[in-house]
Homo-oligomer: A and B are copies of this chain.
Amino acid sequence: MYTETVEITGHFIDSLLLPKILDDVVGHDTEFDIERLDVGKRQQDPSYARIRLTAKDADTLERVLRRIRRHGAVLVNEEDCGIETADKDGVFPDGFYSTTNQRTEIRIDGRWVAVDKPEMDCGIRVSPDRKRGECAPISEIRAGDLIVVGHRGVKVEPARKPSKEDAFGFMSSDVSTEKPKGAIVRNIADCFRDVKYRGQKILVVAGPAVVHTGAAGHFVRLIESGYVNMLFAGNALAVHDIEYALFGTSLGVYLDRGMPAEHGHENHMRAINIIRGHGGIRPAVERGALTQGIMHACVSHGVPFLLAGSIRDDGPLPEVITDVIEAQRKMREMIDGVGVALMIATMLHSIAVGNLLPSTVRTICVDINPSVVTKLADRGSFQAHGVVTDVESFLRELCGELGLLVR
């Protein structure tokens, strides 16, 4: 029989982690003996458990250990993490540790070191002086980089479950269209104020339906009032925003009257042509050719924006980063300091940005289509809260809750 002893510390009772660990253990032909269990008597008290595991062979035990590490368990006598050198650019060593977006520590030279830039589906690159570690995507790996392999010496601190008082907890419970939206919008407004107060940034990821549904004006108010510190979008949001600014239409439909314009389907191409003629959005604003709308507001209020390309883009506008890996790289650079990410009406960009964010960044996904939110959660953005509602109404109400007059 093979035996190892693990320990777990923290709020593992109310996080349901202990049962998950025991479940994993008994579900994999391994017996456990709870050698010690100190349950915190009050909600704020941490708990401690020490559990001896016994399996009939080393492989089974190894598999169980690897599994329960995801829930925060570590060996009582943990070793240093394994480190190997990458042979080629863009390729991890075999057996590389594949990251989650949770807070993670690695043990180097007997010390636990926090891993920087938490991001899922990356490897952990160790600094040449072996003092620090950071998540690095495969495309950034260079031959010679030091990469963590195996699972020994890696400790994950799973995200705490939101507390009962937190309306976000209820929001995230399931994706239903039959919920009162008022309270949810109030919570998001509180969250925005709180993030601003703490000096963190509000990132908005938005799709063109923001314009199509007539919500551009609300969005502009949020920008002007400092509630958008960064905008990630695609070519389409910018194109239709500029189409609306120049022609009053979005996808050829007059937004004020809800009627199609004559030859309106051409307007977005004419908008693209005009901006390309000026050399870009910024020059068009500076020369007075673009005087309103979301993109104008970003330029005039100094809100950095990133437009990432997609294969369905028309044009595109000059600012669009057409290389998607380059766009990911830029987004990674920009997200430092983000406290909350609001994702509106865009599945592609929501999932892309969700993949980059650490689990500690609160993520709110608003879409009229429930499957968008479901897909986001399916891909591991556990911290995502879904709101299934009309985009225009949502932004109008959010402005209202934040005390902004909507013109």
Listed in ascending order, the chain A residues whose CB lies under 8 Å from chain B are 13-16, 18-19, 22-23, 26-27, 31-34, 37, 39, 41-43, 63, 66-67, 88, 90-92, 94, 96, 98, 121, 137-139, 163-164, 167, 170-171, 174-184, 186-187, 208-209, 212-214, 250-251, 253-260, 262-263, 265-266, 268-270, 272-273, 276-277, 308-316, 322-328, 331, 347-349, 351-352, 355, 368-371, 374, 377-378, 380, 388-390, 392-394, 396-397
Whether the pair B371, A91 counts as a contact (CB closer than 8 A) is: no
Whether the pair A270, B98 counts as a contact (CB closer than 8 A) is: yes
Residues of B within 8 A of A212 (CB): 178-180
Closest B residue to A13 using CB positions: B19
Q: How close is A274's CB to chain B, nearest CB, in angstroms?
A: 8
Check A214/B390 contact, CB under 8 A, given A315-B139, A369-B371. Answer: no
Given contacts A63-B262, A167-B257, 4 further A-B contacts (CB under 8 A): A26-B43, A96-B273, A178-B251, A389-B390
Whether the pair A277, B121 counts as a contact (CB closer than 8 A) is: no
Whether the pair A259, B167 counts as a contact (CB closer than 8 A) is: yes
Whether the pair A352, B311 counts as a contact (CB closer than 8 A) is: yes
Q: Which 5 A-B pairs have the closest CB atoms?
A: A183-B258, A393-B393, A180-B214, A312-B352, A26-B43
Q: How many copies does the complex hold?
A: 4
Q: How close is A73's CB to chain B, nearest CB, in angstroms?
A: 15
CA distance A98 to B315 in the complex (A): 13
Residues of B within 8 A of A137 (CB): 314
Q: How close is A88's CB to chain B, nearest CB, in angstroms?
A: 7
Closest B residue to A64 using CB positions: B262
28 pairs of residues in contact across A and B, judged by CB atoms under 8 Å: A13-B22, A14-B26, A23-B164, A26-B43, A66-B262, A88-B277, A92-B273, A98-B265, A138-B273, A138-B276, A167-B257, A167-B258, A177-B390, A178-B208, A178-B213, A179-B212, A183-B258, A309-B323, A310-B352, A311-B328, A311-B349, A312-B352, A348-B348, A368-B388, A368-B390, A370-B371, A389-B390, A389-B393
